[in-house]
Every structure is written in structure tokens, then in C-alpha cells.
Structure 1
Amino acid sequence: NTIQELFDCAELTAKQPRPMGTGLAVITNGSSPGVMVTDELYRSGQALAPLPEQVSAELDKILPASRGRTNPVCLAEDAAPQSVRDVLDVCVRATEIHGVLMALAPPPLSDPADLAEALLAALSGRSFPVIICLMGGARIAGAMAMLNQAGIPTYETPERAVKACLCLREYARNRAALTQIPPRMTRHLGINREIAVDLLGKPKDGEVMPDPDCRAVLTAYGMKVLPSALAETAKEAVEKAREMGFPLAMKLLSPDITHKIEAGGVKLGLRSEDEVREAFGQIMSSAAASQAAKGGVLIQPFMDQPDYEISLSSRQDPVFGPVIGFGPGGIFSEISRDRALGLPPMNRLLASHLIEATHVSEVLKGVRNRPPADVEQLQDLIIRLSQLMIDFPEIQELDMNPVLIKDTKAVLAGARLRVARTHIRSPHHLVISPYPAEYEKTVTAKDGSPILLRPVRPEDAPMFQEFYKVLSSKSLYYRFFTPIRELKPDMLARFTQIDYDREIALVAIAEEAGVEKMLGVARIMGDPDATTGEFAVMVGDPWHGKGIGGKILRYCLDIARDRKFKTVEGYVLAENSGMINLGKKMGFNVTRDGSEVVLKQTF
């Protein structure tokens, strides 16, 4: 939030290892620093966990009986440096503790350098996250310098130390999230882009799309919308109401009024034809008083007492492109600060993180005998909204509020879409490149079987794991130049979470009984200049000799040529004669470099 926090966080991530969990121990000499640390954690929405029993038992051996075994661990104000070191040593050795925050004020007649030396001795040769707050003004400057030179960040106040600690924890959590495998979609999106193209081409620059057209666009992208009917007269409203059945909601159709409730343009819970006539007259009178353009009214079923209300939205940001928002819905959504933002493209994992970043996510799990919301359906809604914003840069803003949830299922009750004409074409309005579906194509293997070549997706991680099970130790050695026993999570994430701007990564897929099976993979890792790249290719042992490696590598090269790469090269072990021969057939220049052979192709 501040420049100071930015530099504190940068120093900490540069000097300290990432914590392997959330277990935090706080060590202080005196109760006041401990209270300050606990209060700052509470203000940040965090809490200290009790010390593990084993740690308490260890502290019993070194602390006087007058000192508690709680977290924070409060030493005496005049605790000797050796006592501080002993307590730190216990916490660092405990497997349940993943980081230590120390808030210490050296006693007035002591030498702070002695305390610094004791701390350095306790941490010597250990890679463990430790954050130290030293309080005492100018007299502690030398001790702080000693700790800083040893790579241990120090802070002058407990509040700064706590914020830096939480930053390190958040950084570790974000890094861990990068290795998570997004679950596969259990439902196909099934969008109809052609309908949306036609409808979005109608509004003028800056215009709000008519409500029926907006609903048609959302329906075309597979979002469930409450059925509705347009009525321009009271008689027509009664006829539509009779057909639809009661109870009903009636809303003014006007591009001039954004907040229709405040303008008297919404009537809810209409249960008779007389109420429909009266509501129509009142809405038209309110519109006339506001001097707003009138397009009639929209009639739709009234969902009485929904279990939950949420809102989904998106805005075009001049820097980040479309930004997706998720939060509570209803008339208070705009003043609620409980809102999470994310950037497309969205997959199920990112949609899940977006939902979980809000307080309303706890409510959606079910409260007061209300059933929990169908979270997978909400994730689908976010993914569909993400795809809509990817496909149409001209959508300047889109508000879907409220999204009503009843008996676990969500349905859109209202939406507002504004169009702004732009010369930018998809996907160039995005800061994160989406999955390049245009690179999907089907080829034929030597035995005549069809093979799908497509870009790698993050959800392909389980398929990669199965693929590596069929690779021989020889194939793995030829690919990685070293024996590989298992595909670790960080390596799996690197292979499946692709930066589509800089990397070309394709898989060869065969479908057996409706299940995709990975036959091979090829990739070109582009350098930052986007003109040179290094290729790699691998085919599963059961499918050698079917021409798969050549087809997938050639397609990678075709894409690299289209992207204006100038040079692509690869490094092959000298004994890998199959790859060397393939390179020669494909026109690579072959040179020897010690135990390796360099295959190079210039476009």
C-alpha cells in the first residue's frame, strides 16, 4: 500500500527463504512488544496459532517457571542474549514452525551487539525465515547493521515487521499457487459467438446495449438468464404477465437511467393483473419526471427470497485491459468493499481464487439452514464472462447484478452492457495472452490415425504425468541430459503453464473412448527479444516411428516463422541419432559441440 511497504517486501524476499507453511512463532522480551505484534496481526485479519506441545516442552527446560509457554513467547525484559538464542534455536528446530518474528528491546545497560551476535550464532548455517524488530533508537544502529550485513532484515517497529512478515507469507502462497493444477472443466462452455458478434455490432460508440440484446449476448455465452418479456403499454404488460405467471418483477427500459430503483423504475413482487397495471403507470410516471427516454418495461419472474445475491462485472482498464470483479450483489453492491478483481483469461483455479478472495465466499458455503451455492457453476459464470471479454474488446463495461442464487443454482436477473468502438482486435487488448485456439489442427499419422495438435493448457498436467510414465529411461535421458526419476510439481507447472507470448508449446493428442491420450510434446522457448528460440521435442516410446515427432516439431517451426522468429536451435546428445537424422530431414544445420550436437534453423 505504501512505498515503504514495497521496499520492505522487496528486501525480505531478496534476503529470506520462503516459508514452507503458515506456522509463525513470535519471540519478545517484555509483554508490550508482544501485544503490539498480536494487535497488528489482528488488524490484518490474522491470528497466532498456539505453540505445538513439543515446543512448549522444550521451552520448559530453558525458561523460568514464571514465564508462560504461549505464543508470543515472552522473555524477561533483561533476558540474556544466550536465553534469546536458546529460545530461537528451539523454534527454528520445530517442524511445525515455519517462520519466527522477533520483537526485542535490548536492556538499557546491555550491549546490543551481544544480542546480535547471539542471534547470528543461532542462525548460522540455517536457511529459515526470521524477521527481527529491534527497538532502542540510535544505540541499536550497530546491532542492526550486523544483522543486515548477514542477510537478516531488521525493522524499527513491530508494525513494519508484521506487515513484512505477512508479505513474505503471501509471496510464498502465490508461488505455491503457481504449481497448482487447475481442474478440468466438467461442462463444455458451448458458446455461440456468432450471435454475440451480430448483436454487439448494433450499438453506437458509447451506447448502452438494449436490455433484450444484452440478455441475448449473455445467453449466447451460456449464462442462465431469467426469462423476460418486453411490454410497451399497460395492456401489453398485463397480457405478458398473464402468460408468464405470478409473482413478477417489472423494470423500466431506459438507456438514460443506470440505477433504476432510485428512479422508481423497478417494481417487485407483483401478484395480480391490477398490480401490473398500477406498476406500469407508476414506472412511466417516474420516467417522465426524470425526463428519461422510455423503451417500455421488462417483465420477468420474481424470485422471492433468494438464498444469496452476488454480482459479476468487468471494466476495460487503459493499462490492464478487461478487469473482472466478483462480490456481493443487490442494491448495496456498489458501496460494499468486499470485492475481488482478476484478469482474464480465467480457468477454474483462478475463478476459485477470485471467489475465495471475498468475505461473501464464506456465506456462499451455506448459513442458517440455507444450502451452499453451486461453486462450480459460479466458476463457470466467471470463465464465461472472461471469454466474452476476451472475444470482444469493444465491451467497455458489463455489470451483472444481481445474480440470484436459489436452491444452490445461480441465475442472472439484471445486466447492463456498454459498448465503445475500438481499433484493437482480440487478443491484443489483454495483458495476459489467452489460449491460442487458432493453433489447433488435426493431422494424420503414418498409420492413418487422426492426431490433434494443439497448444498446451494448464489443465493438461495430469495428462503429462501419465505421459511420463510411458517414457523409457533412455528417452528421458535424451530429453533432459540427466536421469529424471519423477516429474516434480514445479517442473510440471513449468511444462504446462505457458506464457503464450514467448513460448510455443504443442501436444499431440489421440482420443480413445472419449479420453484424451498424450502421444508427444514439442516446444520452442523464445528469448526475451522474441527473435530466437530453443526447441525440444519428445514422443512417448509406444508411438515411436509414426512420424509424430516430425509433424509436431514442423508445426512449431511454422508458428515460429509466422511470429517472425529469425533463428531456432536445439541441443542434442551425440548418441541421439534419431533426433539428429530428423533434424537433417527438416533442414536444420547440424554442427558438433563437444558431447552435444547443435541443430540450427534460420528463417
Structure 2
Amino acid sequence: MGAEPSAGVGRRPMSVRNLSALFAPRSVAVIGASNQANTVGHLVMRNLLSGGFGGPIMPVNPKYQAVGGVLAYADVASLPVAPDLAIVCSPPDSVPMAVAELGDRGTKACIVMTEGLSRAREAGGRSLQQATLDAARRHMVRVLGPNSVGLLVPALGLNASFSHQPALPGKAAFISQSGALCTAVLDWAKGRGIGFSHFVSLGDKADVDFGDAVDYLGAQPDVRAVLLYIETLTDARKFMSAARSAARNKPVIVIKSGRGEEGARAAASHTGNLAGTDSIHDIAFKRAGMLRVYSLEELFSAVETIAHTRRPMRGERLAILTNGGGIGVMAVDELSDRGGTLAKLSPETLARLHTVVPASTVVANPLNIGGSAPGERYTAALEVLLDSHDVDAVLVMHAPSAFSSPSDIARKVIDVARARRTASIFTCWVGQASVTEARGLFAEAQIPTFSTPDEGVQGFMHMVDYRRNQDMLMETPPSLPSEFTANTNSARTIVDLAIERGHLIMSEPEAKAVFAAYGIPTVETHIAHTAEEAEDVARRMNGPVALKILSRDITHKSDVGGVVLDLDHPETVRKAAEDMIGRVTATFPGARLEGFTVQRMARRPGAHELIVGATTDPIFGPVILFGQGGTAVEIIRDRSVALPPLNMALAHDMLERTRVFRLLEGYRDKPAADIESICVTLIQVAQMMIDIPEIVELEINPLFADSRGVLAVDARVRLEPGKTKGPHRLAIRPYPKQLEETFTMTDGRAVVLRPIRPEDEPKHHEFVSRLTAEDVRFRFFGLVKELPHDQMARLTQIDYAREMAFVAQLDEGGARQTLGVVRAVTDPDNETTEFSVVVRSDLKGSGLGKALMKKIIRYCQERRTKAMVGQVLRDNRRMLKFCEGLGFERIGIVDDDVVELKLDLAKVNLNAT
């Protein structure tokens, strides 16, 4: 992933550069190869030679003339050819020099199996790991490890590992941080006949990390799914971009170890304690379209289920068809425990089912068609359920019976599945010996099959969760219900002044002033330094007030007697303040007391008390939290988290993931809360965290919410000066509003040129529909009548970290329309970007096309991308002339009718075009 212009110092992550030498080498050298049994150098040579690798294998060790019967070389310089891949298993102090020599020789990838490099140091104090990386970077050598078990690519016969087991060939890539788990998984998988396209041990991830591996393997056509075992993540932005890109094309399934909350940070608010690290990882995986599982069995079961299901289900309602009541009830119980939805069958569906089952059958869901049910009864009932608009998927279950053949019934179910290619069918043949053949038939037909009701429901829920996460990845969220414009300058001034005064825990009035600048309704609040001042403030406010202690040392005021509510008279305010000083001093003698806050009592009878907050995760950066608030918030622990930026759909999802949401929807005679206002508040808080990096923690607790809207009653903000600015501190890059500009066309009309947004999809459909047939052919290299939602979503919901699209939008008479779009998709190494541009035919000669192209070229230059490339049909002469006028050169012909163009971004001068 390319660095942003403001990304600061440090090396730019190389991502997939030279990874082909690691994953698909043509030659391999082993540094530290050995004939001594039970050494890493011996095991690696044994595995390489027995794996069937077709290229040269070159052992390097001055002690031997040959290793494993293969001619050995004294050093790297003596090698007859530069190896694409080198496996380094020599002592720690020799590794940096070995990598340097390999880089000098032309090697582009190394697997460093040696451990302990991060702990061992050179005479000057530099760690051997850093010395190895420094040597590698001089020649762009990619390093897998150190402390890596190695790499296996069965299709190439490459077993570049010291594992005791080879890997069977398969279609799933497995990437693990744990070396011990790698060897265990290989052993476990071989016993179950599970194969891999690639098997990767990342080791200490000094260079090649999860983001790099996912980026490369996610783009390989022979990889059907990517499986991850994660202990820790480092570069969250790179990982999220890589995972989101891969998850658009194939399943990415992850196990994350270390799920406990013990690692929660000590924090200055409830939010910091509630936003546990595991819940943050969980929402990050969901936001990237990945599926999280919790065991190896579940991991491989999930990939088979998702890969074999022909298309994502249209919904989440499950019908259960069974020949045994007991196993049907077990499936329903499991579905309920997992939060699944049992389909409610309509009278029409029930009536149709009555015509295909015996009269004595109780027609319901689950549908028990009897222990003696033949295949024809299964077929008839299954077709009715699949035809029903009440059902999104069917779990077909069978328990062995003396009256029917499990295999014959399986064949009948398979016939139905083949006839209905889009149907979501799951099967569960319970038992062992008598159903083995049937399960084999299902596996051959690529129909998900399971051996117990629990596993069958689990497989269905994997698809439900996967579909939800894909929807989150591919959604087209609605725009905000009302214009939201933050007074960022005002908030910035308040924060800067607080830092200047040393108020790193902002006072409540300061915090509320920041919230008000972002449009969050707050309760009027004033500071009083003495009990007498509190009395005067209360007199001016002329009404019931709440009195709170003011101290940056006290996080939870009510716990120390620092809150008194419903004070009706100024005199009672003074008395309460005097009493409060005594209570707080006795309870918390070391606290520095600065006075009091006096705020108008918020009369919202029946309002829900919520918590909205934000904290900063060391891996994923800013995190937003929502849940049920009040003083018992940490006991209730009803919360959800999300990564900014947010929109209405993502904010609403946060609400739905809490128990309090059911109350917010209204019940009995209590009206529903203003859900929209709560969602907007979450978006405002997320935007605040994006705009002001010095805010590392904030909290509104309680946030009153009812049918009239929301009101922030109490507020807390913690600042940390000197925090890195810029969007790269966020795991997901937000909408880059600073790239918006206005352009005036030759006819005098002003259009806005801005980055594309997800909510542009409807206007984008309209834009494509108004293109001429010739425009469509020139843009899509063929006739396209209409792009489906999933393809259009990919064009409008982009990852700003690695691609960009600018739209030209005209606003006339309140009606907005898209006039043109230019797009650039950049490789993860920021070397080359591929462009496309299209403008409505009636606007040719308006200057809009040139303005869009200049904007995307300028953007790519600022990102320091090296070259822009594109393909243009040979008969699109106008476009070819246009591009050549901007400095593009023709570099080749593709398929006789397509011209390939290239622009050197370092040399082009837009002012001269």
C-alpha cells in the first residue's frame, strides 16, 4: 500500500513487491544446509528434495561437499545462479551478512528460520533483526520471518519448511503467525484429507506480515479462500485494505487468539475499559468482510460451506426438513442459541406442504416428514420450501432408517439442488457407517454437508454471518438525514487552548463546548471555583440545577459523592457544595479539587440513559463505542464498537448489536426513541475523532435519548498533545473532503469535482444509463445495458487508501446529476496506477474530461505513484489523441484492437498541457 503525502518518516510498506519470488520461486538456495540429523538445515533439505520441486536446489555450507546427495557450495558468491528464494537457517550472528550477500547476488526473497534475532545485538547495539532488515531493504529483498517454520506450495512441489508433514494440494491458503500451530494444522489436516494452495508461517513478521500475504494470495486465481490464524496485528491500515480487497473476491476466514478482556487498558473513562481489544478486532474483521471463527474444525468447515454455497443467501430465514423429530428439535435449539431465525411458514406454504406429506403429518417448521420417508417425499417437500417466499435456506436432515436408503435420498436432494442452482441448501446426514456414502455424494456435488444438527446449524450461521459482513463491505449507505457541518475551527481552538493550559483532561464545560461545535445537543454548564460562586451561578440560571465536583483526578464523580441533583434554590446549592467538599476530601483525600460545575437540570422523564464514547486502540486507532449508560455501565456491559468513519447504516448497525436497542424501539405505551438522532450523534463523535487527533478518549454518559432527540448530560475528554495528524492513523481511510474543488465548464456552468462516495450509487446508475452505446463500448470494451448492484457498489464504495475516483457533479435547481468520472486503481506497492475516464457525450468539448484527468494525475503525483497506465480501443481515436496530449505514450498493442498507454508521472508537467 502506497504512502500518503503526509505519512511522515519511516519506510513505506512494500506489500506485494517481489513476493512472487517467495511464493513462486524458480530456484532455491539453503543457507546453513546440513547433513546432521535433526537440525533445521537437514530437515529443510530433506523436505525440499522429497517435495518434487522442479527448479534447482542449492545447499550452501562450507563444511560439506554435498548435502543430501546434492552438490554444496561454500558461500553465496559460489552459487551458479542467483536463487529467487533463499532459506536461511544459519546461526543468528551470520544472518545479516547472509541476507546482504544474497541481495548483492540478486535474490529477491528469503525465509529466515533462525530465531532470537530480535533479542541478540551487534556491538553497536542494533538488533540482529534490524540489521537483517537493513540489509534486505538495500536490495528490496523480502523476508519471511525470522523464526518462521517456512512455506509450502504443493502445486509447485515446494516444501520450504522444516515441518514433519508435507501439505496436501488444495485451494485454500493458510497463513499463521504461530509456528507450533502450523505443524499441528499440517498433521491435523492430512488426517482429514484437507489440502492447501499455500501454507505460510509468518514467524516474527519483521517484513512480510498478514497484510502483505493477504494482498498477494488474495489476488491469486488458484486460491479459493484465505485462512488466517492471528495472534497480533501491526499495520492495521495495510491489513484492512488488503483484507477488504481480498474479501470482495473470495472468502477470508480468521481465527484470532487471545480473546479475553484481561488486556483491557487502564483508562480515564468507562469507554476505555469497555472497548475490549477482542471486540475491536471482531468489528474490524466484520468491517473488512471477513468471517471470524473460533476453532480449527470450524475454520475448515466454514471454508467448505462458503466455497460450496453457490451464491450468498437472500436472507436469514431457515427451514428445517427432517425425517426425525429429535434431530429437528436439536437443530432448532442450536439455531435459537446462535441467534438465528427460524422461518415462519405462510398459510400458502403450509397448504402446499399438506399436499405432499401424509395426512397424519404435523405441518410446521421444522417439518418432520416421518422416519420412513422415501426420496420422493423429501424431493416434494424440499421443492415447496424452496419455492416459498418465507424461506431463504433449507437444512435437509436425515437419520438412518430401515425403510429407506440414505444414499438414494441424497441423490434425490442433489437432483433438486442441480435443478435450482441458486438455492441455498445445507444437508445433515446423522450417523456414521450407513451415511458415509451419502456424505461423499454431497461433497462431490459441492453441497455443504454435516454430521450433527449442531454442525449443520453452525454451517448455516457461518453463511448468515458471512453475508452480513459482505453486506457491510458492499453496502450503499444512505446520506445523512440532515446537513451535518461541524465547526471544526471552533473545536480546534478549544482543544488547543486546553492543551496550552495543561488541561489534558478537559473540564466538563470545555468538553461540552467541543461537542456543541460538532452539533451535539448539550446541557448548559458553568464552572464555579467556590461554594459561593456556585450559589451565584445557580441564581443566574434561575431553575433546578445539578452540582458536580470539578477535579481532573476523579474519573467517576458519583462514586465519591461528587454529584447532587435537583437543587431548586441557590442557597441549597451553596450548602450542597460545602458538604460535597467534605465528602470528596474524605473519600479521595489526594484529589486536586478545582471547584464545581453547575448545570441546568435536564428534565427528560422516561429518557433512556445511553453511553457514547471513543477511545484509541494501539492497533486500529480511534474506536467508537455505544451502549446502555448510567452509573452501572461497566456492570451491565451492554455495548458495541465500530471503527470510524461511520455513516447512517454503520451507526444503525452499532445500535442493533446492543440489548438496549430493543428498548429504544419502544414498548407497551412508551414511544420509540429518536433512533436517527442517536445515529447522527455517533457519526458526529466519529468525525470528531477523525478531525482532532489530540482527542484520544472521550465519553458522553449519560446521553439522554427519547422521542424528542438526544441530550449530552455529562461529558469527558482526554487529550494527548503531539499525536500524529493525518488520515493514515485510522484503520480505514475516511472520505477525503479536502480533495473537493469547483470547475467551470466552457459553457459557464460550475461543477463540483470530488471523490466518489458510497451514496453516489443511484446517480451512478443514472449516469451510466445516459451514456451512448459508443461511450459504453469505449469505457467497458463491450455493450453493457446495466451494472448490477454488487458491481456498481464496487465502483462507488472504494478504499481511498489504494484507489480513487473523482466524479463531476452538477447541481441545477436542486437536482444533482453526475456528468463524468475518472478512476485510478493503484497496485499495493504504489508503483503503477490504472486509469479510466468517461464523460457524457453531450459534454464533449466542455473541458470536463481534461479537468478530471488532470485532477487524477495530480492526485497520483502527490501520492508519489510512479506511472499511470491504461488501455484504449484502437478505434477510439479521440481518446488516444486526448491522452497523448497529456503526455501518455503508446507502449504496446493488446489483442490487436486495444492500445496500451503509459504516463511517467515523475516527468509530466500539467502546466504545460
Q: Does 1:42 align with 2:42?
A: no
1:497 maps to 797
Q: Which residue of 2 aligns with 1:328?
A: 628
Q: Verify the 8 A CA contact 1:433 1:501 in the aligned structure 2.
A: yes
What is aligned with 1:295? 594
Shift of 1:373: 2.6
Correspondences of 1:561-600 after superposition (within 5 Å): 561-590=861-890, 591-593=892-894, 594-600=896-902
Residue 184 of structure 1 contacts residue 348 of structure 1 at CA under 8 Å; is this kept in 2?
yes
CA displacement 1:360-413 (0-9 Å, x = unmatched): 233223344444333332222111111111123332221111111355121111
C-alpha distance in 2 between matches for 1:35 and 1:192? 57
Question: What corresponds to 2:254 in structure 1?
Answer: none
User: Any idea what the Cα deviations from partners look like across 1:549-602, whole Å, max 9, x if unmatched?
Assistant: 011111101111221222222222222222111011111112443112222212
Between the two proteins, the alignment pairs up a number of residues equal to: 603
Alignment partner, residue 350 of structure 1: 650
CA displacement at 1:132 relative to structure 2: 1.7
- Aligned mate of 2:443, from 140, 143, 148: 148
Query: How far apart are the structure 1 equivalents of 2:671 and 2:352?
Result: 46
CA shift digits 1:521-565 (9 cap, x unpaired): 101112333321221111112321111101111110111122122
Coordinate RMSD, CA, aligned = 2.4
TM-score with structure 1 setting the length: 0.93
One-letter code of the match for 2:393?
A: G
Cα distance in structure 2, aligned partners of 1:237 and 1:254: 15
Q: Distance in 1 between matches of 2:811 and 2:338?
A: 50
Question: What letter is aligned with 2:880?
Answer: I
> Given that residues 535 and 568 in structure 1 are in contact (C-alpha distance below 8 angstroms), is that contact kept between their aligned partners in structure 2?
yes
Question: Deviation string for 1:268-293 (max 9, x for gaps)?
Answer: 11112332123212221122111121
- Give 2:538's aligned amino acid: A
Give the 3-state SS of the residue equivalent to 1:124 in structure 2: helix
What pairs with 1:164-203 in structure 2 (closer than 5 Å)? 164-201=459-496, 202-203=498-499
Q: Tell me, in whole angstroms, the C-alpha distance in 1 between the residues paired with 2:413 and 2:381.
A: 10
The answer for the alignment partner of 2:303 in structure 1 is 10
Query: Measured at CA, do residues 370 and 87 of structure 1 come closer, stay the same or move farther in structure 2, by a change above 3 Å?
Result: closer
Whether 1:101 and 2:395 are equivalent positions in the alignment is yes
- Among 760, 763, 767, the residue aligned to 1:463: 763
User: Comparing 137-146 with 158-167, which one deviates more in the overlay?
Assistant: 137-146
What is the DSSP-based 3-state SS (H/G/I as helix, E as strand, rest coil) of the residue aligned with 1:398? strand
In structure 1, the partner of 2:843 is 543
**1:214 pairs with 2:514:** no
Q: Which residue of 1 aligns with 2:540?
A: 243
1:254 aligns with 2:546: no
Aligned position for 1:439: 739
Return the letter of the residue paired with 1:184.
S
How far apart, CA to CA, are the structure 2 residues paired with 1:451 and 1:123? 52
Aligned-partner Cα distance in 2 for 1:447–1:110:
78
* Residue equivalent to 2:201: none
The alpha-carbon deviation at position 139 of structure 1 amounts to 4.4
- More off after superposition, 481-490 vs 198-207: 198-207
Q: Which amino acid aligns with 2:338?
A: S
Choose the corresponding residue for 1:391, options 666, 691, 707: 691
Structure 1 residues 121 and 520, CA gap change in structure 2 (3 angstroms):
closer
For the residue of structure 2 that corresponds to 1:396, the secondary structure is strand
The CA distance in 2 between the partners of 1:242 and 1:602, in whole Å, is 71
2:381 counterpart SS class: helix
Query: Does the 8 Å CA contact 2:511/2:717 hold for their aligned counterparts?
Result: yes
Deviation at 1:108, TM superposition (A): 6.0
**Would the alpha carbon gap of residues 146 and 463 (structure 1) be closer, same or farther in structure 2, given more than 3 Å must change?**
closer
* Candidates 488, 502, 507, aligned match of 2:788: 488
Q: Which amino acid aligns with 2:625?
A: G
Which of 51-60 and 489-498 deviates more? Answer: 51-60
Tell whether the 8 Å contact from 2:546 to 2:566 is kept in structure 1 after alignment.
Answer: yes
* Residue matched to 2:319: 25
CA contact (8 A) 1:392 1:426 kept: no
Distance 2:853 2:486 in 1: 31
Is the counterpart of residue 279 in structure 1 residue 579 in structure 2? no
Counterpart Cα distance in 2 of 1:546 and 1:598:
26
Give the superposition deviation at 1:94.
3.9
SS of equivalent residue, structure 2 residue 476: coil
Cα gap change, 1:463 to 1:370, in 2 (>3 Å): same
In 1, are the aligned partners of 2:678 and 2:705 still within 8 Å (CA)? no
How much has 1:117 moved relative to structure 2? 3.1
TM normalised by structure 2 equals: 0.63
The answer to whether the 8 A contact 1:134-1:144 is kept is yes
What CA distance in whole angstroms lies between the structure 2 residues aligned with 1:227 and 1:206? 20
Give how far 1:163 is off: 2.3
SS at match of 1:298: strand
Unaligned stretches of 5+ in structure 1?
none
Counterparts in 2 of 1:449 and 1:123: CA distance versus 1, 3 Å: closer
- Would you say the 8 A contact 1:348–1:379 is kept in 2? yes
SS at match of 2:870: strand
Is 1:12–1:168's contact at 8 Å kept on the other side of the alignment? yes
Distance in structure 2 (CA, Å) of the matches to 1:349 and 1:338: 20
Output the CA distance in 2 between the equivalents of 1:130 and 1:280.
68
- Secondary structure of 1:267's match? strand
Cα deviation, 1:106-146, whole Å, max 9, x if unaligned, reads 12686543443333333234322111222214543343233
Listed one character per residue, the Cα deviations across residues 48-97 of structure 1 (whole Å, up to 9, x for unaligned) are 23334444344333322221111111022233344334433433344543
Map 1:418-429 to 2 at 5 A. 418-421=718-721, 423-429=723-729
**Which residue matches 2:117?**
none
Cα distance change of structure 1 residues 212 and 54 upon mapping to structure 2, 3 Å threshold: closer
User: Secondary structure in 1 aligned to 2:852?
Assistant: helix
Name 2:567's counterpart in structure 1: 270
CA distance in 2, matches of 1:206, 1:269: 29
Unaligned runs of 5+ residues in structure 2 are 1-292, 906-913
In structure 1, C-alpha distance between the alignment counterparts of 2:671 and 2:382, rounded to whole Å: 47
- The aligned residue for residue 157 of structure 1 is 452
Paired residue for 1:62, among 342, 347, 356? 356
Residue pair 1:206, 1:421 contacting (<8 A) in 2 also? no
Does the CA-based 8 Å contact 2:550-2:596 persist in structure 1?
Answer: yes
Whole-angstrom CA distance in 2 between matches of 1:249 and 1:353: 34
Question: What is the SS of the residue equivalent to 2:314?
Answer: coil
Once residues 62 and 144 of structure 1 are traced to their aligned partners in structure 2, the CA distance between those partners, rounded to angstroms, is 26
Amino acid in structure 2 at the alignment position of 1:326: F
The 8 Å contact of residues 534 and 598 in structure 2, kept in 1 or not, is answered as yes
> Which stretch of the first structure deviates more once superposed, 81-90 or 154-163?
81-90
Alpha-carbon distance, 1:43 to partner: 2.2
Shift in Å, 1:265? 0.6
Amino acid at match of 1:143: A
Q: CA deviation at 1:101?
A: 0.7
CA contact (8 A) 1:372 1:408 kept: no
Question: Does the CA-based 8 Å contact 1:307-1:370 persist in structure 2?
Answer: no
Q: Could you tell me which residue of structure 2 aligns to residue 233 of structure 1? A: 530
The one-letter code matched in structure 1 to 2:849 is: G
Deviation at 1:267? 0.6
Percent same amino acid among aligned pairs? Answer: 35
Distance 1:557 1:138 in 2: 65
Note if 1:602 corresponds to 2:908: no
Q: What is residue 676 of structure 2 aligned with on the other side?
A: 376
The aligned residue for residue 117 of structure 1 is 411
Letter of the 2:898 counterpart: E
